[in-house]
Amino acid sequence: MARYPYAAQLAPGGFVIDGKPALTKIDGGLIGDYVIMVVRDPLLDYGGDPAELLSQRLENRVLAGRSGMFTTYSGRYKGAHISIVSGGSGSPEAELVLVEFMQNSKANTFLRLGGGMALSEKLHSGDVAIASGVVRDEGMTSAYVTSSYPAVCSYELVACFVKAAQELNYRYQVGIGRSQDSEYLQTGHPSVGSYFQDEHLSIVDYYNRAGILYTDRESAAIVTLCSLFGRRGGAVVSVDNNVFTGEGFTAGDGQEHAIDIVFEGLANLCQLDEAKKAGGHEFWAPDGF
């Protein structure tokens, strides 16, 4: 950066207004260890701002940031210090949150909570997908690193979410998701006037044969940037339709289960982190072998 002639104007983390990052306007000191990223998605039928609604599960809830683009609440759930931020959809929107939070807080874990379309016969409407990795078919992350760089979810997050799903007795699958930019053509949906190209005809079958569980617009951004910058990243996605099996769309199907899995999973992760710290370990290993 010392050799960059524009460094004084384009500082890391973006612009600042009144001492706060300009786009999220968070108070970095109020941001928790664990950040849940949600989209103001009408397909999930929240009935209001999801950050505000989900934060009602938190104790000692505080408004940690509000701008024209994003709303953030923080509080505690079973000991876990959690922040929930809502905004628009897609990798570029996710980047704005990730950069400002990473630059201005001590948050160490970021995850996507939302909905997606299933591409696998293993999932049915109302099920939950816990991502172990994500195909980077969107464009934002390629600005950061070569397309061959893997988007791998934190194994600790995956384990904690699986434990939560099992204890809650909810239907779930673990596997690879996929993120893309286009909500239509890149998911096999025709666009205006049934616009389609030959390359779009094989998308559903191609990714089904590859074992991809679901498709969304944010998971890859979160997981990739977390890997690059030494944080833990993951995704928990509810399935509200399955294009491969022909199961139709139902707004918000499975989202309550996904929400429960995320909150209980982060409580598990908090316990895991405390155990690692007490034992002087950087990484977690399961017991019982």
- CATH of residue 264's domain is 3.40.50.1580
**For position 7, what pLDDT does the model report?**
84
> What is the domain count for the chain?
1
On the question of pLDDT at 218 being above 90, the answer is yes
**For position 155, what pLDDT does the model report?**
98
Q: Secondary structure of the chain: what % helix, strand, coil (to 5)? A: 35, 30, 40
**Assigned domain for 288 exists:** no
**Assigned domain for 210 exists:** yes
| pLDDT tens readout for residues 43-60 | 998 999 999 999 999 999
Sign of dihedral through CA atoms 176, 242, 182, 112? negative
**For position 118, what pLDDT does the model report?**
95
pLDDT average, residue stretch 271-280: 96
**Assigned domain for 167 exists:** yes
| pLDDT tens readout for residues 99-136 | 999 999 999 999 999 999 999 999 999 999 999 999 99
Domain hosting 212: range is: 16-279
**Assigned domain for 68 exists:** yes
Burial status of residue 183 (CB atoms within 10 A of its CB: 0-12, 13-18, 19 or more):
middle
**For position 10, what pLDDT does the model report?**
85
Q: Which residues contact 182 (CB under 8 A, 6 or more apart)?
A: none
**Assigned domain for 2 exists:** no
**For position 268, what pLDDT does the model report?**
98
On the question of pLDDT at 98 being above 90, the answer is yes
Q: Which residues contact 8 (CB under 8 A, 6 or more apart)?
A: none
**Assigned domain for 226 exists:** yes
**For position 1, what pLDDT does the model report?**
62
**Assigned domain for 289 exists:** no
